[in-house]
């Protein structure tokens, strides 16, 4: 694929004209919402189905990591999307593991897991996503 074909492909995949104002407005409207949540929500909250929430999240994360491995192996055009989604979930997993840890032991484990496992895997996924277009162009 030469540069003209790549430019044509990128132009074909441009977002609809309404996407920028809608998503921009949604991002701006979230700011006061976040401020309200910080003010109104309690610091502690007990939750039903905590185990199912985390198990479901981890199942989705495992499926995404398998999708990244498979799409990388097959040199699939889906690599960028799978790797980007996996990176996001890995960052979210690290964030919530650290913030929901109770006690020093759980917090220490969450921080070590984030530093040694989740964040490095997220960075690897981002690198794969970034390089995905280059690999497709070389094909």
User: Which pLDDT score, from 0 to 100, does residue 92 have?
Assistant: 98
The pTM is what? 0.80
Predicted local confidence at residue 14, as pLDDT? 78
pLDDT digits (tens, 9 = 90+) for 73-103: 998 999 999 999 999 999 999 999 999 999 9
Closest among 62, 87, 70, 83 to 132, alpha carbons compared: 83
The C-alpha angle 118, 106, 96, rounded to 5 degrees, equals 45
Q: Which residue would you say has higher pLDDT here, 132 or 66?
A: 66
Query: What tens digit of pLDDT does each residue of 8-57 get?
Result: 555 556 788 999 999 999 999 999 999 999 999 998 888 899 999 999 99
Q: Cβ of 107: how many Cβ atoms within 10 Å? A: 15
Average pLDDT for the chain: 89
Tell me, yes or no, whether 72 and 102 share the same domain.
yes
Are 72 and 53 in a shared domain? yes
Question: Are 64 and 85 a contacting pair, CB within 8 Å?
Answer: yes
Co-location of 122 and 90 in the same domain: yes
**Total number of domains constituting the chain:** 2
Which of 62, 120, 13 has the alpha carbon at shortest distance from 70? 62
Residue 101 structural domain: 48-138
């Amino acid at each position: 694929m030469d540069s003209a074909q790549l430019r044509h492909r990128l132009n074909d995949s441009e977002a609809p004209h309404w996407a920028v104002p809608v998503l921009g407005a949604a991002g701006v409207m979230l700011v006061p919402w976040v401020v309200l949540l910080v003010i109104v929500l309690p610091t502690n909250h007990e939750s039903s189905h905590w185990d199912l929430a985390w198990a479901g999240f981890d199942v989705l994360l495992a499926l995404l990591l398998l999708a990244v491995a498979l799409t990388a192996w097959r040199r699939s055009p889906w690599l960028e999307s799978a790797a980007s989604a996996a990176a996001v979930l890995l960052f979210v997993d690290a964030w919530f593991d650290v913030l929901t840890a109770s006690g020093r032991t759980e917090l220490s484990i969450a921080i070590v897991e984030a530093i040694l496992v989740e964040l490095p895997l997220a960075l690897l996924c981002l690198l794969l996503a970034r390089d995905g277009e280059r690999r497709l162009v070389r094909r």
